[in-house]
Structure 1
Amino acid sequence: MRTVYRVILVLVVSTFLVASCSRKKNSFVSRNYHAVTAEFNTLYNGYDVLEQGRTSLNESYFDNYWEVLPIERMEVTDEVMLPGQSKSELFSKAEEKAVKTIQKHSMNFQGKEKNPQIDEAYLLLGKARYFDQRFVPALEAFNYILYKYPASDKINQAKIWREKTNIRLENDELAINNLKRLLKQEALEDQDLADATSMLAQAYLNTKAVDSAITQLEVAANATKRNDERGRYRFIQGQLYNTLGKTDSANYAFDKVIELNRKTPRIYLISAHIEKIKNFDYKSGNKLELLERLTELEENRENRPFLDKIYHQIATYHLKNGSDTLAVSYYNKSLRTNTQDRLLKAKNYEILGDMSFDKLLYRDAGAYYDSTMGNLVVDSKPYRVIKRKRDNLEDVIFYETVARVNDSILELVSLSDVDRVQYFESFIERLRLKAQEEKEEKERQEAIERNRGGVAVNNVPGGQQLSGRGVPGQASMFYFYNPTTVAYGKNEFVKIWGDRALEDNWRWSSKGGTGTVNNTSSQDILASASEDELYDPQFYISKIPSEEKEIDSISKERNFAYYQLGLIYKEKFKEYPLAKSKFKTLLNNNPEERLVLPSKYNLYKIYTVLGENDEATIAKQDIVTKYSESRYAAILNNPELADTEDGDSPERLYEALYEQHEDQEYAKVITACETYINKFDGEPIVPKFELLKATAMGRLYGFEKYSKAINYIAVTYANTPEGMQAQTIENNVLPILANKDFVEDNMSNNFKVIFKFQDETLLEAKPFQKVLDTVLKNIKYYDLKTSLDIYDQSTALVVVHGLKTAQVAKTFDQLLTKEDRQKIQVPYFVMASENYQIIQIHKNLGIYLNRTNK
């Protein structure tokens, strides 16, 4: 019986407790039960998951130390999230815990919340949404706390988080006002004060108020209890002082970071050291002491993860001290650390590229610039700057190679038969030695491959055999798993084929890499030679050009390359000594007449810049005396013409022609372009005139002539911007324009009414258009416009635009009043817009009219 009573008692007590813990009852037991359950169950788990997500967010975030760091380590993306989606499962789970707390433990009686943990749940909800980058819902959660729980002990935190969210939503001015009010009204302390002032500093940074941001960061650094935050705030202070040019204050802030030592993340410590080193005064500072500090950073084992930055700074030190070899060595060391800092990689490559360019190693410079662009954001400003350098270098590499190769060919042409035999015997001897070395290298590689399994057994503990991938117990001879054989194969490919791009038809001689030009054809000669021919001097002698026309062509190509190099070095790179050397070499090579005068004038300009006044006077006198009727002589006699763009300057003439082209004066543009192309032959402006002439020819004569003109520009001026543009047009635009097939009317939703004026009525087109414009204003329900389009030299078309159906277009005259119809007596025909485009491109209006009249 006693057992039965006990069971009944337990059931009664349990029933009483469950009933008393109901959310519907405002009792002491219920309030405390739900408060304790919420705090130590769902909320605890929710904050635990939130912290995991925040830690993961911080670890995945990569700070850009080349710019001022943000206060909070969080990357905001523009990715649009659909309802129900989340950027992180952890934040989604934290949000679920907050919602569960509110749903299961909220005790709202007569508009008042009796569970003191619900405001904490809404705070968790807002934080989870904030880190999940759903800022508007997060703002709603924080605002709900401020509205519903004004007496909450979390009210200040809610206000701070609300302003953090406003800052993310770019409401910086609102955040500044609210945070300043909070700091004024509330006596914030410790972490709350640090959070409020740090966020205020971020808002000031966003609004470019740097001084105010520094002040707030000082307060935040002193108030925070977290050393990682203190180190970050102090480091940002130093960066901001640097932007203001206050080096001493910046160094003081960096010293504060360094004093924290192991209390703050190592990256802040190393970055503070590096920033101080960047501020070093190389003119008055102790360089030996600086080198000792750099060496100490390099040798400290704790700094190994940051050697990429340290090596870069050591390289910069050696570069500024004129130790180029050491600088190159350390820049390469920085790159070999496989740094994840893409901007650091880009800077290393760019500096190495600049150094190579200064040493005239153009191919190496081009490769370095390519690597630089590979580590920059495409189409960003730094990317465009490097791309411009690389594009300019492309021309240098091309023309330097042309000049070098053609000089070599012409030198062979000038040799006697005996000298040619001696030259190629020496060349063949070098070929034999090279072949022998390659044979020995190949045998050595084969021996390595044969012994590779045995070596692996000796090197792996326990006698396990390693494959090419380093997997025990799996012997593999796959070629690409062995870096030695891969490197050997790459070298062999370059030796035979040159630097070829990865594309179809890569074996064609025209597909040679940058700077290979005629060198590729020499590789083709070697590749095509038989074993007997390969070591026969007469085989190579037979390849030397012998016809006068061919030799003359090579000489002209060489001379033009020297002229272009002179211009590039003078105009683009300001390398005046190099430019002078190229122009003088050109004039000594008996160039064609069109290059002589521009070269002499450019030499005069270079002498003036270099301060070689005697040489400049001689060059000026030569031009004025021998070419007194030239434009250059006119400029030298009237120097003010060189400082202002007079009416005869190529640029002004081009602008005037372009305006004529816009006015559809195509025949005049073509004639004038031909005149100016001859007048300014050899100058950089010529390709512009050629492209303008091609466009005018297309508008006046149609597709065929336009296609031929574009092809001519693409071939003749291949390495100019206009030539590249022409090549793009030829590849991408001309195939589309080539279509001559007319479309049926039912396939179009845009039609034109066309009035044709030809031969003797041509001059009536413009007055007629004015009358038509006045008439169209009286038409209701249609927004119609007109244009006067030149069809060919003897035909103009007045076109009405804006009609959507063929039926309305064909009954166009029915839209006019009786009086207006009297003013428009010229017959018209109707055409779909697509067909109108075709007849203007291919000049086949007659074919279209015959087709429609059948």
Structure 2
Amino acid sequence: MNKGGKIIVFSVLAAIAYSCSVKKDAFLNRSYHAVTTKYNVLFNGEQAYLQGLKEIEDKHEDNFWKRIQIEPITFDESQITTKVLSPGTGFNENEEEKEENLTPFDKAEEKAVKAIQVHSMNINGYERNSQIDDAYFLLGKSRYYTQRFIPALEAFNYVIVNYPKANLNYETKIWRAKTNIRLGNEKRAIETLKLLLDVLDETEKIDKSTQEQAYTAMAMAYEQTDTIQKVIDNLKLATRTKYNKEQTARNMFVLGQIYSELDRKDSARMVFRKLAESKKLPHRFRIRADIEYAKNTPNDSASIVVLARLKKLIKNTDNRKFLNALYYQAGVLEEGRNNPEKAADYYKKSLVAKHNNNYQKTYAYERLADMAFQKEDYLLAGSYYDSVMQMVTKEFDQEKRIRRIKRKNKGLATLRKYEETVKNNDSILQLVAMTPNERNSYFEAYIEKIKKEDEAQRQLILNAQNFGNSFGGGASINNNSNRGKWYFYNTQALALGRGEFQKRWGTRPLEDNWRLSDKTISATDNTLASAQDTKANARYELSTYLDAIPTDEKVIADLVRERNDALYQLGLIYKEQFTNHALAIKNLERLKAVATDDELELPISYHLYQIYKGQGDIAKANEYKNIILQKYSDTSFAQIIANPDAKLEEGKKEDEILNKYKEIYYLYKENKFEEAVTEVDNFSSSMKNSNLIPKFALLKALAIGKYKDKETYKKALEFVAVSYATTEEGKKAKEIIERLNKT
């Protein structure tokens, strides 16, 4: 290189070295650091920030059954703290391994910190690098999304204080307000935003983006203070500009949801219709707006038009992701138009839609359950409510709706248990009551039936595998079109041959003398096949069924007792929980007809008296009233009937009875069981019509169990369980009986 070239190279290097200094306020220095900051460090930081935003957008799922969030972020309150970047982080070239553990927002913060530490030109208290305010702004936004709101606030305040004339000053103030909202300082955020909007109104025309962001942030702040009308006003202002299409659609949707919550259905429909017809807004919000429009449509002639629109949307293949919600809402409209069969069909389609979520399914199952419940198909309703509970996650299991379903399903689960007990025990007792000849005839007919069913099933399988069958889509081997073709080209023939070979020979390795290579496996297969044949043949043996019929008198008596107890419990459940008087009467009347235990007559008669009296059937009510008054005149039931308007409880007397109960309970705790039983019997005449009678009865039964035999103990408990079935004491007695039966 000649001398002139060396001079030029030296001059360029000297200029670069000179421009790298952050202490010299020269044009070259300012330009170098501004360009390097913007197109190197901040560019990489902005890319990381945008990646983080994309991840948030992908992870966030809106629950359209509730009011969606104005700002679509799901912050995890359990992970408030994140990695804190130490000073100097970000400009060490050997930190690639550490960067792998950083989130995109951490990386963006790292780049912002590097820009500030390396390229800041703070000379005489004035920043000469025009890109440093952007670095602080990126720093604040990155901290905001990592839930470090106090450090984010510091970064935004630094920009506002030190760069009052920066072009992003207004946007920074909006972000500072949003940060204050996250910190619970809604009032300060509202004051800041109001001041910002007022100043802009007076001094200059508000930029569309700034205006939209400010009004959106204002709506967020008022939402936290539950000032709904202010939320509405600001959302309406935020949706005028339509600068950010995504946020505009979200604001309109929230506005429509608020109108719906306030029962302003007309306004809600107007907003949702406008959103649905705005072709420039995101597709998912437009489809959801159609669904919400249908939700807010009354069951009149207008619902026909809305239903037709939903059906049109269902047919559009572009809407496959939304079929679960579209089918469900179509079902709601059909149900409102009194078409339960069509509604149920739509609900079932909603459940099996490819794109679905468990929360959506809970609503479909609940609708099906409610429809079955209204038709008094309680067993089916219970199975649907069970499905609701299986779909519920921890996030939603404390909702009021879910808690209500839990309570309802608990009663239905008990009802199903008793219905199954009655059905099973009735079937067995019916067989017990038959003569030997009747049993033989019954089971011979049953065996003949299952033989025919098994034969039909075998024939169906053979037909499916038959060469000439076209079920599998293959051609018949006997068809002319198949003649001359090799066996192994016919897939059905090949499958059938393979199946027959494995059935006969089992799985064999490919080797010489394969017929003799695995006799052990073949013998095992034969043994298994023989066992399966024996099991199948047992179903056709008359003795299999006759031997299963109980003959022991104790077992039969237990079946009768369980059946009668189930009938009584069913009567109470239908009467008290489901207010289905017809089914309550059916079970109680049947129990009265089959029961041989006199202890059941009193409670059965009283419940039937109440039901018939409530229905206005005076003749039947008097029939059971007379039974109680004539045969059980000294009971509390008779006293209630004879003196319906009398005050049954007196505070002073109840206190005396409670004190007496405590005295007897202390005897029981001191193992004076016989004395406790005697005290209960002696005091019984003094506590007529008391609410504490069930407690005394259970205490007496427990005391009897301490010094008498098991059968006497069970009998005492059964009296409590039957006489006071709806009380806690009655239920407790029943639980003890069930435990005793298992031992």
Compared CA separation, residues 403 and 675, structure 1 to 2 (3 A): farther
Structure 2 equivalent of residue 16 of structure 1: 15
The aligned amino acid for 1:269 is R
Compared CA separation, residues 312 and 125, structure 1 to 2 (3 A): same
- TM-superposed deviation, 1:674: 10
Q: How does 1:422-821 map to 2 (within 5 A)?
A: 422-440=441-459, 534-537=539-542, 539-640=544-645, 666=669, 671=676, 722=732
Compared CA separation, residues 236 and 656, structure 1 to 2 (3 A): farther
Distance in 2 between the 1:133 and 1:39 partners?
26
SS of equivalent to 1:388 = helix
- TM-superposed deviation, 1:183: 2.7
Distance in 1 between the 2:330 and 2:662 partners?
56
The aligned amino acid for 1:15 is A
Compared CA separation, residues 359 and 190, structure 1 to 2 (3 A): same
Is the 1:669–1:693 Cα contact (8 Å) retained in structure 2? no
1:281 counterpart = 2:298: yes
1:203 counterpart = 2:221: yes
The aligned amino acid for 1:601 is Y
State the TM-score, normalized to the length of structure 2: 0.76
Distance in 1 between the 2:443 and 2:231 partners?
73
Structure 2 equivalent of residue 294 of structure 1: 310
Structure 2 equivalent of residue 350 of structure 1: 366
Unaligned 5+ segments in structure 1 are 456-464, 466-476, 478-526, 731-854
The aligned amino acid for 1:584 is E
1:236 counterpart = 2:254: yes
Distance in 2 between the 1:661 and 1:93 partners?
75
Is the 1:53–1:88 Cα contact (8 Å) retained in structure 2? no
Q: How does 1:182-193 map to 2 (within 5 A)?
A: 182-187=196-201, 188-193=206-211
Is the 2:177–2:189 Cα contact (8 Å) retained in structure 1? yes
Compared CA separation, residues 669 and 306, structure 1 to 2 (3 A): farther
Structure 2 equivalent of residue 804 of structure 1: none
Compared CA separation, residues 29 and 659, structure 1 to 2 (3 A): farther
Question: Aligned to 1:421, which of 432, 440, 447?
Answer: 440
SS of equivalent to 1:222 = coil
Is the 1:660–1:666 Cα contact (8 Å) retained in structure 2? no
- TM-superposed deviation, 1:345: 0.7
Distance in 2 between the 1:34 and 1:336 partners?
60
Structure 1 equivalent of residue 153 of structure 2: 139
Structure 1 equivalent of residue 273 of structure 2: 255
Distance in 1 between the 2:288 and 2:678 partners?
59
Is the 2:331–2:342 Cα contact (8 Å) retained in structure 1? yes
Deviations 1:277-312 (A, max 9, x none): 112221x43443233222222222322221111100
The aligned amino acid for 2:559 is I
The aligned amino acid for 1:196 is A
Distance in 1 between the 2:598 and 2:135 partners?
87
Question: Aligned to 1:161, which of 162, 166, 175?
Answer: 175
Distance in 2 between the 1:229 and 1:141 partners?
25
Is the 1:91–1:129 Cα contact (8 Å) retained in structure 2? yes
Structure 2 equivalent of residue 783 of structure 1: none
Deviations 1:124-180 (A, max 9, x none): 011111122222322222222234333433222222112212222233333233323
Structure 2 equivalent of residue 83 of structure 1: 83
Distance in 2 between the 1:210 and 1:303 partners?
33
Is the 1:135–1:168 Cα contact (8 Å) retained in structure 2? yes
Is the 1:660–1:669 Cα contact (8 Å) retained in structure 2? no
Compared CA separation, residues 365 and 36, structure 1 to 2 (3 A): same
Deviates more, 1:242-251 or 1:79-88: 79-88
Deviations 1:478-524 (A, max 9, x none): xxxxxxxxxxxxxxxxxxxxxxxxxxxxxxxxxxxxxxxxxxxxxxx
The aligned amino acid for 1:5 is G
Compared CA separation, residues 575 and 232, structure 1 to 2 (3 A): same
Between the two proteins, the alignment pairs up a number of residues equal to: 644
Compared CA separation, residues 139 and 93, structure 1 to 2 (3 A): same
Is the 1:412–1:420 Cα contact (8 Å) retained in structure 2? yes
Distance in 1 between the 2:548 and 2:319 partners?
60
Distance in 1 between the 2:174 and 2:617 partners?
68
Structure 1 equivalent of residue 425 of structure 2: 406
Compared CA separation, residues 322 and 438, structure 1 to 2 (3 A): same
SS of equivalent to 1:79 = helix
Distance in 2 between the 1:673 and 1:39 partners?
96
Distance in 1 between the 2:459 and 2:278 partners?
59
Deviates more, 1:191-200 or 1:659-668: 659-668
The aligned amino acid for 2:11 is V
Distance in 2 between the 1:421 and 1:587 partners?
32
Compared CA separation, residues 648 and 354, structure 1 to 2 (3 A): farther
Structure 2 equivalent of residue 222 of structure 1: 240
Structure 2 equivalent of residue 125 of structure 1: 139
Deviations 1:384-404 (A, max 9, x none): 333323322221111101111
Distance in 1 between the 2:186 and 2:169 partners?
21
The aligned amino acid for 2:36 is T
The aligned amino acid for 2:293 is K
Deviates more, 1:434-443 or 1:221-230: 434-443
Is the 1:424–1:537 Cα contact (8 Å) retained in structure 2? yes
Compared CA separation, residues 697 and 612, structure 1 to 2 (3 A): closer
Deviations 1:350-378 (A, max 9, x none): 22233344455555434322321222233
The aligned amino acid for 2:83 is P
Deviates more, 1:351-360 or 1:98-107: 351-360
Distance in 1 between the 2:626 and 2:458 partners?
62
State the TM-score, normalized to the length of structure 1: 0.67
The aligned amino acid for 1:350 is E
Q: Quick one: percent identity of the two aligned structures?
A: 36
Structure 2 equivalent of residue 321 of structure 1: 337
Is the 1:189–1:223 Cα contact (8 Å) retained in structure 2? no
The aligned amino acid for 1:402 is T
- TM-superposed deviation, 1:246: 0.8
Q: How does 1:91-130 map to 2 (within 5 A)?
A: 91-130=105-144
- TM-superposed deviation, 1:725: 8.6
Compared CA separation, residues 390 and 87, structure 1 to 2 (3 A): farther
Is the 2:222–2:228 Cα contact (8 Å) retained in structure 1? yes
Compared CA separation, residues 141 and 591, structure 1 to 2 (3 A): farther
Compared CA separation, residues 428 and 620, structure 1 to 2 (3 A): same
Distance in 2 between the 1:294 and 1:264 partners?
19
- TM-superposed deviation, 1:45: 2.5
1:25 counterpart = 2:24: yes
Distance in 2 between the 1:118 and 1:658 partners?
82
Is the 2:181–2:221 Cα contact (8 Å) retained in structure 1? yes
- TM-superposed deviation, 1:443: 5.6
Deviations 1:510-565 (A, max 9, x none): xxxxxxxxxxxxxxxxx999777643445534443344443333222111100001
